């Protein structure tokens, strides 16, 4: 059973935000209620575009850092299923 997920959401302004969570649906709801990350509070609503499962928080956090270092075009390729 997967315990952690890295996710990418698209904000209302078209920007992309990457995070990790145990329950992605709940986390997206928090973002959309303005109780999520500071970055997304003024960019609501957000829409889930990508998620990737991991069995440990450590692995999810490492992948989150990797994704955050990608360029926007690379993130879009990842979302489309084409590994950057």
Looking up residue 21, the CATH number of its domain turns out to be 3.40.1440.10
Asked if residue 32 is part of any domain, the answer here is: yes
**How many other CB atoms are there within 10 angstroms of residue 1's CB atom?**
4
Helix (H, G, I), strand (E, B) or coil at 62: helix
Work out how many domains the chain is built from and give that number: 1
Residue 5 has pLDDT above 90, yes or no: yes
Whole-model pTM: value is 0.93
CA distance 17 to 67: 10
How far out from the chain centre does Cα 84 lie?
16
Using pLDDT thresholds of 50, 70 and 90, give the confidence band for residue 82.
Answer: confident
Asked if residue 40 is part of any domain, the answer here is: yes
* Domain hosting residue 73, numbered range: 4-79
Asked if residue 84 is part of any domain, the answer here is: no
Strands 4-10 and 47-54: antiparallel
The predicted-structure confidence for 18-54, as pLDDT tens digits, reads as follows: 999 999 999 999 999 999 999 999 999 999 999 999 9
Residue 2 has pLDDT above 70, yes or no: no
């Amino acid at each position: 059973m997967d315990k952690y997920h890295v996710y990418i959401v698209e904000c209302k302004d078209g920007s992309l935000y990457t995070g990790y969570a145990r329950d992605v649906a709940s986390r997206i709801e928090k973002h959309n209620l303005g109780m999520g990350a500071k970055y997304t509070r003024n960019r609501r609503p957000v829409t889930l575009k990508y998620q990737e499962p991991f069995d440990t928080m450590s692995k999810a956090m490492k992948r989150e850092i990797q994704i955050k270092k990608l360029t926007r075009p690379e993130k879009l390729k990842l979302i489309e299923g084409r590994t950057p």
